[in-house]
Amino acid sequence: QLQLQESGPGLVKPSETLSLTCGVSGDSIDTSKYCWGWIRQAPGRGLEWIGSQYHRGRGHYNPSLKSRVTISFDAAKNQFSLRLISVTAADTALYYCARETTSDYFDFWGPGALVTVSS
C-alpha cells in the first residue's frame, strides 16, 4: 500500500522560503505512470492545488503560484520536495503531498503538514 508523509518546519518567517518534503513508501517516484503533487488548505478555506511534476518530465503548476514554486525530486531517498519562496501570512496552510494519476485525479494523499508563516 502506498504511503506518503510530509515533513518540514512548522514555522516560517515572512519573506523567507517554505520547504517541505514528501517521503514515499510502497512505490517508486521514478515512474512515468504517475506524477507527484502538492495541495494546500488555508484555515477556513478550501483546497488549493499548488502543482504537480513527473520525476523525469513535464510538470504543471497553478498559475497563481507558479512564479514562486519549485517541485524537485530525490530518487535515492524516494522523496520529492516543495519549495515556495517569498512567503506571506497568506501561505499559512495545511500542506498535502499526493500522487496524481495520468488522468489527473489524486489517488493517494499524505496526512498533511501545518505550516505557519509568522515572525
Partner 1 sequence: DIVMTQSPDSLAVSLGERATINCKSSRSASGSNIGNSLAWYQQKPGQAPKLLIYWASTRQSGVPDRFSGSVSGTDFTLTISSLQAEDVAVYFCQQYNSTPWTFGQGTKVEIK
Alpha carbons 114 and 102: distance in angstroms, whole number: 28
User: DSSP H helical segments within the chain, as ranges?
Assistant: none
Quick check: 84 binds partner 1 (CB under 8 A)?
no
**Interaction between residue 60 and partner 1 (CB under 8 A):** yes
Q: Which stretch binds partner 1 (CB under 8 A): 14-22, 28-36, 47-55, 78-86?
A: 47-55
Close Cβ partners of 59 (under 8 Å, ≥ 6 residues apart): 35, 51, 52, 53, 71
Query: Judged by CB, which is closer to partner 1: 16, or 59?
Result: 59
Contact (Cβ atoms closer than 8 angstroms) between residue 19 and residue 78 = no
Question: Which residue among 25, 32, 77, 107 contacts partner 1 (CB under 8 A)?
Answer: 107
Residues that bind partner 1 (CB under 8 A): 4, 39, 46-49, 60, 62-64, 96, 98, 101, 103-112
